Amino acid sequence: MAAVGCLFAPAALGAAIGKDWWTCVIFSAIAATCLYKAATGMRRGKHALIRRTLGPADTWPAAIDDTLPHDNEPVAVATLSDFDFTSKPTSQPRKTRRSTSPTKRPRPIEGDLWLPRGHYEVEVTGESQSQTALVRIVGGSTAQWVDHETMAELVCAPQSPHDFPDTGDVFVHINGARVGQIPDGIAFRRRLIRYGRKGRTTRCHAKIRGGGMRNDGSLRMLGVWLDMPPFRW
């Protein structure tokens, strides 16, 4: 059919050029009819080919057929009256990472005092050069094991105002005597900045431990531990 339509189309064009209008109309109608039937036949053939290629696995399962309405079964149809367009949708509060945390961690410092925790985790360095002052603080005798509780002051060493981030040493004073320094002064000073106490002198609970006689008759040295949070937590 497509070939016949293609043959009549030039004939119709030639009749139009020769001004034989009735012949042009007839040939044009024949050509259009042939082309339409050819296109319809091709579409039907394509659908038939698809149906022939479908196998038993491509059929609808029985579970889907059960969900379809049966004959003479009333079907519920929603209308515009079933919807309420006047009420505003309820907005859900947006969740944030901060709101999901159960409780906010309390600050470990109040004023200039580090709150006691009962865990003496920070060991002071350089106490070997201050044994005379430590022996005097614990009572002058270290022949027996010493576990002396006291208060310590954490003094930030002077520094240039142009230094940033805050750097420098942090010395430990007990009863007005320097007994050592904090092992990581930079981390401690940054912690002070975090709590709004840059360069201030703070206090904390401390313990002086050590002493006792060794097997060779010498006395053990004394060490200082501070009751405050670790530097990195």
Question: CA 122, CA 105: separation in Å to the nearest integer?
Answer: 20
CB contact at 8 A, 228 and 122: yes
The pLDDT of 152-166, averaged and rounded, is: 74
pLDDT, greater one: 89 or 55: 89
Question: CA 222, CA 182: separation in Å to the nearest integer?
Answer: 16
CB contact at 8 A, 5 and 32: yes
The one-letter code for the residue type at 140 is G
CB contact at 8 A, 13 and 31: no
Residue 24 pLDDT > 80, yes or no? no
Question: CA 188, CA 134: separation in Å to the nearest integer?
Answer: 23
What are the pLDDT digits (tens) for 28-53?
777 677 767 766 766 565 555 555 55
The one-letter code for the residue type at 158 is P
Per-residue pLDDT, 171: 93
Q: Give the position of tokens 């942090």.
A: 170
Q: Where are the domains of the chain?
A: 2-55, 109-227
What are the pLDDT digits (tens) for 99-131?
555 566 778 888 899 999 898 989 999 988 999
Per-residue pLDDT, 115: 92
Question: CA 188, CA 198: separation in Å to the nearest integer?
Answer: 10
Per-residue pLDDT, 150: 95
The pLDDT of 186-209, averaged and rounded, is: 90
Residue 209 pLDDT > 90, yes or no? yes
CB contact at 8 A, 15 and 23: yes
197-207 exposure pattern, b = at least 16 Cβ within 10 A, e = fewer: beeeebebbbb
Question: CA 22, CA 16: separation in Å to the nearest integer?
Answer: 9
Q: Could you tell me the CA-to-CA distances from 100 to 66, 92, 104, 106, 192 in Å, in that order?
A: 45, 15, 10, 17, 27
The pLDDT of 159-167, averaged and rounded, is: 59
Residue 232 pLDDT > 90, yes or no? no
Neighbours of 122 (CB within 10 A): 23
Average pLDDT for the chain: 76
233: pLDDT confidence band, cut at 50, 70 and 90?
A: very low
The pLDDT of 196-203, averaged and rounded, is: 90
Per-residue pLDDT, 104: 67
Residue 165 pLDDT > 70, yes or no? no
Question: CA 132, CA 179: separation in Å to the nearest integer?
Answer: 9
